[in-house]
Amino acid sequence: RKEVEQDPGPFNVPEGATVAFNCTYSNSASQSFFWYRQDCRKEPKLLMSVYSSGNEDGRFTAQLNRASQYISLLIRDSKLSDSATYLCVVRVRRNDMRFGAGTRLTVKP
Amino acid sequence: EADIYQTPRYLVIGTGKKITLECSQTMGHDKMYWYQQDPGMELHLIHYSYGVNSTEKGDLSSESTVSRIRTEHFPLTLESARPSHTSQYLCASSRTRTSDEQFFGPGTRLTVL
């Protein structure tokens, strides 16, 4: 079983749609959680950290459920520019970041 | 924009050649990393460094080696390239040991024939 699992998608949604991505992690000692965005053939970039209380950044909302070892990302009012692969990232130990394989999103006009 | 650079961006090379992938950052970051990523797959950590003269192997077994003689420079070397080394190699850095955000370079896409 992979340490970080994501639905690979692809998710094909129309502009304006709300889309949710899920991620599960296997190590209960995981300490920090993140969503990164990776455009096609580009490097990953931090989208947002995920806090226990949940956090929001504009149209993006991240949630963490430690009991279920589950992280989510919600994108509201999706834009064409949101098309990318979204990587769930978990820090297990101080030096150990584990990346999910990513969920691909395509937003269509 | 993060100031982290990788060269070459693309490399096609024959089996048995020695290659060095360059990575430099101008942000003064202590920690640097090398990841390997195949298409549609997750990133795997192959090497990391806490600072000058510090290098460690990551969780993915790799035949490559790294060095950290200067803070800003973290090159990765393959002594004898093989087709199984064909992949995308991503370099990253972060500010301190406790800083979680990693800034990635644009990557080197390596093809070994």
pLDDT of amino acid A95: 66
HSE (CB half, 13 Å, CA atoms) of B75?
A: 12
Question: Edge-to-edge strand order for the sheet containing B19-25?
Answer: B4-7, B19-25, B76-78, B65-66
Rounded CA-CA distance A43/A74 in Å is 22
Q: Rounded to the nearest 5°, which phi and psi values hold at B84? A: -70, -15
Does B48 lie at the interface with A, CB-CB under 8 angstroms?
Answer: yes
Looking at beta carbons, which residues of chain A come within 8 Å of B104?
Answer: 43-45
Question: Could you give the strand order of the β-sheet that contains A70-75, starting from the edge strand earlier in sequence?
Answer: A4-6, A19-25, A70-75, A60-65, A55-57
User: According to the model, what pLDDT value does residue A52 have?
Assistant: 86
Low-confidence stretches of chain A (pLDDT beneath 50): none
Chain B residues lying within 8 Å of A27, measured CB to CB: none
Q: What is the pLDDT of residue A59?
A: 97
Task: Compute CA distances B102 → A85, B106, B110, whole Å.
Answer: 17, 13, 22
State the residue for tokens 């889309």: A19
Helix (H/G/I), strand (E/B), else coil: B83: helix
Distance from CA of B91 to the nearest CA of A (A): 9
Check if the beta carbon of residue A63 is closer than 8 Å to that of residue A71: yes
Structure tokens at B66: 């790294």
Q: Which residues of chain B have pLDDT under 50?
A: none
pLDDT value of residue A62: 96
Identify the pLDDT of residue B97.
59
Please answer yes or no on whether A32 and B59 come within 8 Å at the CB atom. Answer: no
Please report the pLDDT score of residue A54 as a whole number. Answer: 87
How many contacts (CB atoms, under 8 Å) link A and B? 46
Q: Does A96 touch chain B (CB under 8 A)?
A: yes
What pLDDT is stored for residue A97 in this prediction?
Answer: 84
